[in-house]
Amino acid sequence: MKQRYFWRLIRHSIFFVIAALACAALVGAAGFRQARREEQQAELRRGRQQAAEQALLRAWESLNISNIPFKSKAPDFHLVSIERTPHGAALLLTMRNDYAKGITAYNIATGSPSRSVDSLLHDALTAANDFTIAPGSTSEVIVDFNDPDLEINGITLGAVAFDDGSFEGETASIREIRQFRQGQLIQLERTLALLGKPSSGAALLESLSRSQLDLQSTPMESQLPQGSMMANGAKAVRLSLAGYLGEIRANLESGNESSGMPELIEYAQRRVAELHASVEGANMNK
C-alpha cells in the first residue's frame, strides 16, 4: 500500500514538473515572439526612416530652384531670390519689404511646420534696436529643405507683423506669430524676475549666476506643449539670453566696468511691453 502510494506521488510530481516546464516554455516562447515582433517593428521603422532620408537626398540633388513656387498671403513682402546654402540641405531666401511700414516678424512654411521669424534681442548689447525690416530693405532667412515635393508644394509666406502692431496675412499664421511671441514673453519675464534691478559687484554676479543656472536647468520650453510655436519662441529667447549673459560674465571677469547688463535689462523690459501689446492687441488689420 505504502509503495503504491509512493509511486503515485512520484507520478503526480513528475506530471506537475512537466506541466510547469511546459508552461514556462510557452511563456518563454511568447516572450521571445513579442521581443522578435518589437525588433521587427523597430527594423521596419528604421527602414522607413532611411528610405525617407534617401528620397529627400535624391530630391535635394535634383531640385531645380527656379521651379519652386512661392505663395504669399502678404503680397508686398516679396521674394527676391532663392539660393542653395553651401553646407547642408537648406535654402537661403532673400525677402524685400515693399510695404510703407517696417516688418518685425513673418511666418514661412516650406511644406512642413511653419517657421516664425521674429525679433530676438538682436544687437541688444550695442544698439538696443529691434530686428525690423525697414520699407524698401531686404532680409535673409535660411529654411531647411524637408519636403521632397517642394517643387509642387512650394514655399508659403503666411503672414507678416508690422512695427505699428498690425498684421497682414491668413488668420492661422497670425495666430502662430502671436503664440511664438507669447513664448518669448514667458521666458523674458522669468529671466527679468531673476535678474532683478541693475546692480554691480557681487550682487550683479549673483543675479547673473542665478539667471544662467535657470536658463540651463529649467528651460521654459519644456513646460510648454512640445513642438508648439510657444515652445519655439521660449527656446529662441532662452538661447539668445544665454549668449548675452555669457558675454556679460566675460566682461565682468575681465574687469570691464561696462558689463552691458543695464542695457540688456532696459531693452528686455521694453521688449516685454511690446510683446504684451502684440500678444494681447486686437489690431490685426493692415
pLDDT tens for the chain, 286 residues: list them: 545 555 555 665 666 656 555 666 665 666 666 777 777 777 778 888 788 778 878 888 888 999 999 999 999 999 999 999 887 888 999 999 999 999 988 888 887 666 666 554 344 334 344 578 999 999 888 888 888 888 888 888 999 999 888 899 999 889 988 888 899 899 989 888 888 776 666 777 788 888 888 888 888 888 888 888 889 888 888 888 888 888 888 888 887 766 778 878 888 888 888 888 877 764 444 4
Strand pairing class (90-97; 167-169): unpaired
Encode 217-226: b = buried (16+ Cβ within 10 Å), e = exposed. Answer: eebbbeebee
Residues 6+ apart with CB under 8 A from 165: 277, 278, 281, 283
C-alpha 52/C-alpha 23 separation (Å) is 43
For 125, 141, 202, the CA distances from 245, given in Å and listed in that order, are 10, 25, 15
Q: Which residues pair with 162 in a beta bridge?
A: 103
C-alpha 117/C-alpha 129 separation (Å) is 16
pLDDT at 243: 84
In CATH, what is the architecture of 65-170?
A: Sandwich (2.60)
pLDDT at 95: 93
Q: What is the DSSP track for 21-42?
A: HHHHHHHHHHHHHHHHHHHHHH
C-alpha 230/C-alpha 180 separation (Å) is 5
Residues in the chain: 286
> Do 244 and 191 form a contact (C-beta atoms < 8 A)?
no
Torsion-angle region of 165 (φ positive above 0: left; ψ -120 to 50: alpha; else: beta): left
pLDDT at 286: 42
Query: Phi and psi at residue 120, in whole multiples of 5°?
Result: -125, 45
Residues 6+ apart with CB under 8 A from 245: 208, 211, 212, 215
pLDDT at 2: 47
> Do 105 and 181 form a contact (C-beta atoms < 8 A)?
yes
pLDDT at 100: 96
